[in-house]
């Protein structure tokens, strides 16, 4: 309890010295860091030389399975920063030493601070972070942004099994494919669907593939993690304006309870891509 109070006081004291919105996220991460089984960590420095911070819930030496929850690829989707923080609070409360979570509430710091979807790159231009990953259906330049390269490195290096990327505001919980494919069903489609159904019993979100349930887009995080590494990767689109963010976080807790302990074996499976003209349209969609 003393530790919790210390964290709250620390957060309150620093309230007056917030330089920007991301500082408020950092204060909340510092508060979580006062709780047991947590470690504050930096993913690395982004293109503005700013540390992308997250919280680890778990013990490296004991955990058998590692997962990722990453929020706010799109800086204007504000609730996408909240759900990962609520999720961290819940998994700290119901601590399971066999599992470790890397939780990063805000990947796109420059966008978050100005309520903008895109992220500023080293070239000074604004890029869509969730179109910056390697994709089975395009030959575009990948990993222009440091933030996306850094989270990709973490997932690869730490052998992450399951990942959820949090966005807003469609009210869906979806799985690959999302790229410009003729057929969105992967070889794991039945498994993805059954798993997703259990998670959305809590928030009643619509499930399906990203491409069918939302819209197709090339270069997204979720397709990359699954296609390249076999990571079980899901996209949580928080519903607005009526969503209960704590319930969304609870649905993620249930979701991870049902995670396999190993990645999918269907790595690098063939994707039935649309033709090149349609593919380039994918990058300009909202």
Torsional sign, CA 53, 59, 61, 64: negative
- φ, ψ for residue 5 (rounded to 5)? -60, -40
Answer yes or no whether residue 74 interacts with Zn ion by CB under 5 A.
Answer: yes
Nearer to Zn ion, 167 or 210 (CB): 167
Residue 243 CB, nearest approach to Zn ion (Å): 14
- Helix or strand holding residue 157 (H, E): helix 146-157
| Piece in contact with Zn ion (CB under 5 A), picked from 85-93, 159-167, 183-191, 210-218 | 159-167
Kindly list the distances between the CA atom of residue 145 and the CA atoms of 6, 119, 249, in Å, as whole numbers in the listed order. Answer: 36, 8, 28
Residues 6 or more apart in contact with residue 208 via CB below 8 angstroms: 172, 174, 175, 193
* CA dihedral of 151, 79, 53, 156, whole degrees rounded to 10: -20
Residues 75-94 that bind Zn ion (CB under 5 A): 77
**Total residues interacting with Zn ion, rule: CB under 5 A:** 3
Nearer to Zn ion, 108 or 138 (CB): 108
Answer yes or no whether residue 167 interacts with Zn ion by CB under 5 A.
Answer: yes
| Piece in contact with Zn ion (CB under 5 A), picked from 51-59, 69-77, 174-182, 213-221 | 69-77
Residue 76 CB, nearest approach to Zn ion (Å): 8
| Piece in contact with Zn ion (CB under 5 A), picked from 107-115, 152-160, 163-171, 246-254 | 163-171
The distance between the two most distant Cα atoms of the chain, rounded to a whole number of Å, is 60
Residue 185 CB, nearest approach to Zn ion (Å): 23
Nearer to Zn ion, 91 or 164 (CB): 164
Answer yes or no whether residue 127 interacts with Zn ion by CB under 5 A.
Answer: no
Distance CA 64, CA 125 (A): 40
Query: Which residues are near Zn ion by CB under 5 A?
Result: 74, 77, 167
């Amino acid at each position: 309890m003393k530790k919790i109070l210390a964290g709250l006081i620390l957060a309150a004291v620093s309230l007056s010295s917030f330089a920007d919105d991301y500082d408020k996220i950092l204060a909340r991460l510092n508060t979580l860091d006062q709780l047991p089984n947590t470690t504050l960590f930096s993913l690395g420095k982004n293109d503005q030389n700013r540390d992308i911070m997250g919280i680890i819930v778990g013990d490296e030496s004991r955990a058998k399975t590692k997962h990722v929850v990453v929020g706010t690829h799109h800086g204007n989707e504000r609730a996408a920063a909240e759900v990962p923080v609520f999720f961290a609070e819940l998994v700290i409360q119901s601590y399971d030493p066999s599992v470790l979570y890397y939780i990063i509430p805000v990947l796109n710091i420059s966008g978050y601070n100005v309520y903008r979807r895109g992220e500023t790159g080293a070239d000074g231009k604004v890029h869509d972070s969730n179109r910056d990953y390697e994709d089975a259906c395009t030959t575009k330049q990948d990993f222009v942004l440091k933030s996306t390269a850094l989270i990709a490195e973490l997932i690869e290096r730490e052998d992450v099994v399951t990942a959820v990327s949090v966005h807003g505001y469609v009210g869906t919980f979806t799985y690959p494919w999302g790229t410009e494919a003729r057929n969105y069903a992967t070889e794991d489609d039945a498994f993805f669907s059954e798993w997703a159904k259990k998670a959305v019993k809590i928030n009643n979100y619509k499930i399906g593939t990203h491409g069918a349930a939302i819209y197709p887009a090339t270069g997204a995080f979720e397709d990359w993690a699954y296609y390249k590494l076999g990571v079980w990767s899901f996209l949580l689109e928080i519903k607005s304006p009526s969503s209960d963010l704590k319930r969304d976080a609870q649905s993620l807790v249930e979701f991870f309870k049902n995670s396999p302990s190993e990645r999918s074996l269907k790595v690098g499976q063939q994707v039935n891509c649309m033709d090149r003209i349609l593919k380039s349209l994918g990058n300009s969609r909202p």
